[in-house]
Amino acid sequence: MGSGQNYLWEIGIGAGATGYVGEIGGSLKTQDWGPADVAFKATRLSASAFGRRLISYRFYANFQLSYIWLHADDKYAIGTGREFRNQSFTNQMWEGLTMVEYHPIIISDLGGRKRYKADLHVFFSSGAGVIYHNPKAIINNQKVTLLPLHTEGPNKSYSQFQLVVPVAIGTFVSFQGKGKSYKIARKNSGKGYKVNRIGITLNYRYTYFDYLDDMSTTYPDISVFNGNQTAINASHRAYSSKTGEPTPYPKKGTLRGSSGANDHYFTAMIYYSRRINSGKTKSKISSRQENFRKAKKKRK
């Protein structure tokens, strides 16, 4: 069994960049629902707090709460023809995730110097989550919330709470702290253990809806807006590529979005976490490390 690693939990924080794939913006002439279609200028920030719980040597549970800021703008889609459609949005979301991590690669003696002061983990994870989202846009120099405007008609509403499925890959390095943190490690375990972790995670979220950007299907008849000019301007913002003047509101049923594929988003995040003394369960260490310690005792 283990080397006295008396912990079950670690807590951490992270920050990084976000990307969105959907109807608005993009960098490819033919819109794609993959990361290759993300315009770099449209990336925004995200932040996360999480708790990771040890299940077994290679399995962990991860519970996350994140703030995620999505953005896209047709003005970044230069050369695609979409820039003249002039659509844009921003969506500042809250997300809660529960995931299970599998760690197929664990190098317990990073550097191979038989000191075991640092280790390396590579992991895959997936699970389920829920988001609260609220797409907005700048209309007539004012930021407005798009959902109440029913930009595709009153029968095309959506919930602000949605389910998501995260799929992630990541890696981290664990290492012993110096000074006070190392003394705490020795006090908790008897021999000391790696209390700090620094890592990076790429997390792609699949959704089951198409309104992260408030855009999915077709234009309604302009009469449904009852003369609400803000709603009309939010629904249709296109201008002529030749004159620069706004184009007439399209006929009912004209394609506005692409309902054949849902919107998705992803984050790339760097994080720091710290193990906490939270139980008597000992984690199983690798046979290589275990055998090394046995051999070391025999030499004594």
Give residue-wise pLDDT tens across range 148-198: 999 999 999 999 999 999 999 999 999 876 544 444 444 444 344 578 999
At 33, is the pLDDT very low, low, confident or very high (cuts 50, 70, 90)? low
Q: Are 257 and 185 in contact (CB under 8 A)?
A: no
At 34, is the pLDDT very low, low, confident or very high (cuts 50, 70, 90)? low
pLDDT tens readout for residues 114-135: 666 789 999 999 999 999 999 9
At 41, is the pLDDT very low, low, confident or very high (cuts 50, 70, 90)? confident
**DSSP β-bridge partners for residue 71:** 90
* Structural domains of the chain, with CATH: 9-299 (2.40.160.20)
Pick from 151, 138, 25: nearest CA to 81: 25
The token pair that represents 222 in the structure block:
């302009």
At 258, is the pLDDT very low, low, confident or very high (cuts 50, 70, 90)? confident
